[in-house]
Structure 1
Amino acid sequence: MKSKYNFQVQHEDGSVFDMYQMGIWVESFHIYSPNPDRTFLEFPGKHGSYLSASYMKNRKIKISFQVETGSEYELDQLKHSIYNIFYTDQEFIITRDLSPGNILYALQNEEYDFDNITGEDADFNLTLTMADPFVYGQERIGTLADDAGYIDYNGTAETKPAFSFDVLAPITHLDIVSDDGYMRIGDPYTVEETPFEPETIILNDNMNTLTGWGPASSVDGGTVAGQMSVLNSNDFIASDYGSGSAWHGPSVKKSLSQQLQDFKVECYFRQAAYVNPKDTGRVELYLLDINNNVIAKLAMADAWKNMPKNRAEVRLGDTSNNNYMVNTSGKTDTWWNDFQGVIRLERIGTKFFAYVANITRDSASKHFRTWFTGFDDLEGKFQGKVAQVQLHLGCYGTDSAPSQAFQRIKVSKLNQPVTNQVPYIALPGDKIDINFKKSEILINGEERKDLKDFGASFFSFKKGRNNLFILPEGRVSTTVTWREAFK
């Protein structure tokens, strides 16, 4: 039997926790009334006062629970699972079974504990804070034909929309203009300026064929063995790791159409270092010059015995002359254990930039658990031109390997602007998402708030008609989503 007050909690990473499915009975669920904060002005000789400002302060939710388990151990485990659900660094979403189309945003802001009824059963009360004090209705979706239109909004409080754009033609900027404000990313160009492409794609391999890839002869700390194969026309996997006493596995390489000085290399891959603690594995991409000297290496490896722990590595140079830009497991030992994402390296002049990100496995492809760092090669030690890309999948000794595969390799030449040139910020096929509630700007899932115009704002929809215009015209397809907010 399920409580009529049952609800679900959704975290920022998409994880959903249903109280009923966790064995938690929701005894009561109370949303406190709006908590107004009003400012009044009084004037001599006038009766009463004038209302000069009115705002909604934080609002509260009070919930009562009961739990029944089979042992004191199970109760203790459930208690800490509940702690992890409600203690988060960011707001979580609550969806109630009583009104499944509506959502609330809440945070835990007070401590609580279980009151044991028996050694196996307990009840507890929890008070949550609604820093966003409104209740939101069902998500609504609209499109803007011919880059102009309007949204008729019926909520009793203002709401923040979200815009999604499919890019149809190159753009140097994107404007969303409303009656009360505007959002702009990038820069428009004048009649005296011209747009330019900041990067030229040299290699964009989706791992659907080994044609063009040849055998490699060496890898760091191990031997080349086994066989690289294509899985489902979109992954390079090791169908055979071969054998060896240290690291071993297949390796292939491909020559680029030109040697690159300023470059960007993106390695998309997956590595599930969490299923079996005894697995060891590594995914490595080497950048080579025309003489097979190593210019840099991008890697993710689980090298720990009986412990799942993925460590990212971005190394400039080879094993004897190098600089490690990244050599970490992230903020915790398990941060990247279930990894499906990207490692990127850029070089512009003497400056290097390294980036690591997990990517959500949904249509949003949003980057999370990111790591960014830079290095200035002032001594010029790592300035060789990139001529080849080498891939390697490995395991150690007789250990089994985790599920790991290359999913996409992209290599670009970075172009530097000359006078009166404005760079494109997006090209056909790119996706731009601007979420006004989260103050979030994403291009292909990656945060790009650096592109926001100084005077632009994450404006709100107000009650009534909201006119919208998209610029430049005819270069994006626009979808807008919003939830009506109620007090």
Structure 2
Amino acid sequence: MEKSIFNFKILYEDGELIDMHEDLSLWVSSFHIPSPDFDHITESIDGRSGEIILETTLKGRTVKASFLAESVNPIEFDKHRDNLFRVFNPLREFYIIRDLQPGKRLKAKVNTILDIDYLTPEDGEFTLEFLICSVFIESTGTTLNPEWGFQVKTNENVQYTHSTQYFSIWNDGDIVVDPREHFIKLLFNGSSVNLNIKNLTTGDIWSYSGNTTAGDNIELNGIRSLKNGSSIFGQTNKKLITLAPGMNEFEITGAIDPFEISFDFSFLYL
């Protein structure tokens, strides 16, 4: 059986990687990804026609895949079915990585029962739905992972580690990377006095009223602010740095040469 163009792999949290074709001898006959479901929160105003939209929220979306399974005889096919039950265990969360776009992945859980429609005693077909609770399709790696495996949508020479006062950070995704919801880690190494990190594109400013010396590191990990592993949240302005889609222009003040700042995050796509 040849490999389908819709073929994909499953990556479990423990590192186990299963290829639908190579490991399970499955033909993926279709793989359907819809756009995210959404809710518009609206309000009507007395004396005014129509409604105004107050907010739009994205909901989890469902991905559907259809498969053809076969084996050499009925006994082996029965064993094959049992193995499919193990692989598509609804209790386990995993990543789906499609051969068509190996640089992107979907975090999913099985959302339907696996019920094979037997064509013969040795082969059959079935369809599964996968629930993508996180809504977004994400990059398979992060910006500081050299094996993230895909080209970004810009001709600029993108870098995610800098040692100058002004620099740029490219967000290849479709949405704002927000540390309250998404993985993003900033790491500053070096000496500083009243360190300020400003995203000139979004207007976000993070500041620290303390000092650092050579060998110290400041880490902004999600909503946490750490110096050498200990919280410094109370000495900051209690703000966060977000990244808009596309190029983000930054200015850093209070840093004393030599210093280094790096940005580690995943790209999020619709």
Coarse TM-score class (shorter-chain normalised): 0.5 to 0.7
Cα contact 1:139–1:482 (8 A) shared by 2: no
Q: What corresponds to 1:45 in structure 2?
A: 47
Q: C-alpha separation between the residues in 1 aligned to 2:48 and 2:219? A: 54
1:10 CA drift (Å): 1.8
1:36 maps to which residue? 38
Contact 1:155 1:485 in 2 (8 A): yes
Q: CA deviation at 1:433?
A: 8.9
* Residues 102-157 of structure 1: CA deviation (Å, up to 9, x unaligned): 33222223333333333332322110111122334647652223265232446432
- Kindly report which structure 2 residues correspond to 1:130-149, keeping only aligned pairs within 5 A, or say none: 130-136=132-138, 138=150, 142-146=160-164, 148-149=166-167
Q: Could you tell me the TM-score, scaled by structure 1's length?
A: 0.41
- In structure 2, the residue matched to 1:122 is 124
Aligned amino acid, residue 16 of structure 1: L
What is residue 7 of structure 2 aligned with on the other side?
6
Q: CA distance change for structure 1 residues 183 and 129 in 2, over 3 Å: closer, same or farther?
A: farther
Structure showing greater Rg:
1
Contact 1:165 1:476 in 2 (8 A): no
1:50/1:71 Cα in 2 relative to 1: closer, same or farther (>3 Å)? same
Residue 104 of structure 2 aligns to a residue in which SS? Answer: coil
Greater strand proportion: 1
Q: 1:460 to 1:54 in 2, by over 3 A?
A: same
**Equivalent-residue separation in structure 2 for 1:91 and 1:457 (angstroms):** 32
Which 5+ residue runs of structure 1 have no aligned equivalent?
196-423
Q: Which amino acid aligns with 2:268?
A: A
Q: Which moved more, 1:39-48 or 1:101-110?
A: 101-110
CA contact (8 A) 1:3 1:26 kept: yes
Of the two structures, which has the highest relative contact order with CA contacts closer than 8 Å and spacing of 6 or more?
1
- The alignment of Structure 1 onto Structure 2 pairs a total of residues equal to 242
Q: CA deviation at 1:466?
A: 2.6
- Name the SS for the 1:462 alignment partner: coil
Q: Secondary structure at the match of 1:70?
A: coil
Partner of 1:82: 84
Q: Is the 8 A contact 2:116 2:124 kept in 1?
A: yes
Rounded Cα–Cα distance in structure 1 between residues aligned with 2:46 and 2:84: 56
User: Quick check: 2:163–2:258 contact (8 Å CA) kept in 1?
Assistant: no
1:156 paired to 2:174: yes
Offset at residue 85 of structure 1 (A): 3.6
Distance 1:82 1:484, change over 3 A: same
Judged with a 3 Å threshold, the aligned counterparts in structure 2 of structure 1 residues 188 and 45 are, in CA distance, closer, same or farther, namely closer
| Structure 2: runs of 5 or more not aligned | 140-149, 153-158
Q: Helix, strand or coil for the counterpart of 1:117? A: strand
Contact 2:111 2:128 in 1 (8 A): no
Q: Deviations over 1:145-188 (max 9, x none)?
A: 32652324464322346446485x589x998654455679xx86
Cα RMSD (Å): 4.2
% identical equivalent positions: 24
**Distance (whole Å) between structure 1 residues aligned to residue 225 and residue 36 of structure 2:** 31
For the residues of structure 1 that align with 2:225 and 2:22, how far apart are their CA atoms?
Answer: 35
Structure 2 residue 269 is matched with structure 1 residue 486? yes
Give the CA deviation at 1:86: 3.8
Question: Aligned in 2, Cα 1:41/1:106: closer, same or farther, shift over 3 Å?
Answer: same
Aligned to 2:105: 103
Q: Which of 463, 468, 472 is equivalent to 2:245?
A: 463
Which residue of 1 is the match for residue 63 of structure 2? 61
CA contact (8 A) 1:161 1:460 kept: no
Taking the aligned partners of 2:170 and 2:79, their CA distance within structure 1 comes to: 48
Alpha-carbon offset, residue 88 of structure 1 = 6.7
Counterpart of 2:95 (choices 93, 96, 113) is 93
Please tell me whether residue 17 in structure 1 is matched to residue 18 in structure 2: yes
CA contact (8 A) 1:147 1:478 kept: no
* Structure 2 CA distance for partners of 1:25 and 1:431, relative to 1, 3 Å: farther
8 Å Cα contact 1:8-1:95 kept in structure 2: yes
Secondary structure in 2 matching 1:103: strand
Is residue 477 of structure 1 aligned with residue 257 of structure 2? no
